[in-house]
Structures are given as structure tokens and as C-alpha cells.
Amino acid sequence: MINRIRDIRRQKGLTLADVAARCAPATTAQTIGRLETGMRSLSLGWMNRIAAALDVDPQLLVKAEAEAEPQIIARLAAGGAEPLAKPMSAVFPVGPGSAGMVVMSVDVSAGEYRAGDQVWLKQIGSADFARALNRDVLAPRPGGRFAFGRMIDRDGDRIALLPPGVGQRQVVIDHPAWIGVAELLVRSL
């Protein structure tokens, strides 16, 4: 089994020291780091303590080795959709059914999206682009960049997106390898 402690901790914006201090009883950042990397075995007791510190169900802390999981690959910032320096695992809030999905985190509010939101997107190939018309999509662009917005036009493998927010100009992308159609919005209350 592989643990997801680091991914969940980073998603929540916590440091090793933050998690260590939240454990009951408190522990050291070094201990949490060793548990994250597998240098120290993750016992059931540790799993429960760390899950409580991260405010998640303990079963979310582990995953099967062969399990393919969705990745957070982009974030919506003030300048538009940006790639992450390194993709990270996304923790699906509902359970199974996340195959073929990618996730975009929202850093800055834009349109109907608020800072802190996660947008879960189903990847589709060019044969299915027509069904994404008038839906919010994430599309890869050359150079490892992304564009996000409402798909307002499609001409063969050429798509046009209207980014969220006021005063944004349409973005035209030729032959994207895939697009991610927004399927799920995860928002903290």
C-alpha cells in the first residue's frame, strides 16, 4: 500500500509542522515526514492520528499500488489556466468513478468559480468534442500550458473557448490532443 499523506497535506496547504502540531498528542514534523515517505511504517494508530489532524477519513490516507488515480495538473490563476510545476494526486471526495479524470484547482475567483474550488474534468478525445459544446472545458496548449473556459465553437479539431470572468477574450486552440469536460465542482463550505 502507498500512503497519500503528502498529497492530502499539500492540498490542504499544511506544512509537516502543522500536521505534527494537530496530532493528538502532538508529534514532530520529522516523524510526519518519515511516515509520508515510508521511512517509518504507517500503523493503524498513526493512520487515525494523522487522519484526524488532516480532517479526512483514515481510508483516504492509503491506496493500492496498482490503482491509477486522477492528478491535479493545472490551476486557474489571475492570468488564466496554468500548469502545476509537478502534478499531484487528487483525493476524490466521493469514491470510485474517477478513472479518466483530471483536476484543476482554482487559486483566484473567476466567473462562477471561487478560490479554493476544485474542478474535476473528464478527459475526452477529438471524436467526442461536439458533446462538450457550451460546457466548461480545460484544453492543453503547446508548451505544456492550458486554457480553460466555456467551449463556444468547434470546427473539426479546432475549438474556441471563452474564459470565465468579465472582459476575457476568446482562445482558439488547434488540434488539442484531448479536452477535459467539467463534471464535478468540489467547493469547501
Q: How many structural domains comprise the chain?
A: 2
The DSSP element (H or E) to which 92 belongs, if any, is none
Among residues 168, 118, 122, 176, the alpha carbon closest in space to that of 146 is found at 176
- Report residue 68's pLDDT band, with 50, 70 and 90 as the boundaries: low
Residues 82 and 172 in one domain: yes
User: Which domain-ending residue is among 63, 85, 111?
Assistant: 63
Same domain, 49 and 76: no
Q: Domain end: 63, 92, 112, which one?
A: 63
What's the pLDDT band for 57 if we cut at 50, 70, 90?
A: confident
State whether 29 and 92 are in the same domain: no
Pair (126, 87) in one structural domain: yes
Same domain (yes/no): 49, 108? no
- Whether 166 and 102 map to the same domain: the answer is yes
Per-residue confidence (pLDDT) for residue 156, from 0 to 100: 82
Based on the domain organization, do 88 and 169 belong to the same domain? yes
Q: 102 near 73, Cβ under 8 Å?
A: yes
Range of the domain at 124: 71-186
Same domain? 117 vs 82: yes
Which amino acid type is present at position 64? A
Answer yes or no: is pLDDT of 63 > 90. Answer: no
Spatial separation of the C-alpha atoms in residues 157 and 74, rounded to whole Å: 22
Residue with cell 477519513: 57
Per-residue pLDDT at 96 exceeds 70: no
> What's the rounded Cα separation, in Å, for the pair 96 and 108?
29
Same structural domain, 85 and 175: yes
Predicted pLDDT at 93 = 57
Cβ distance 120 to 186 under 8 Å?
yes
pLDDT surpasses 80 at 2: no
| pLDDT digit string, tens, across residues 123-164 | 998 888 988 999 999 999 988 899 999 999 998 888 999 999
Extract the C-alpha cell encoding 8.
492530502
CATH code: domain of residue 168: 2.10.109.10
> pTM of the prediction?
0.57
For residue 51, the domain's CATH number is 1.10.260.40
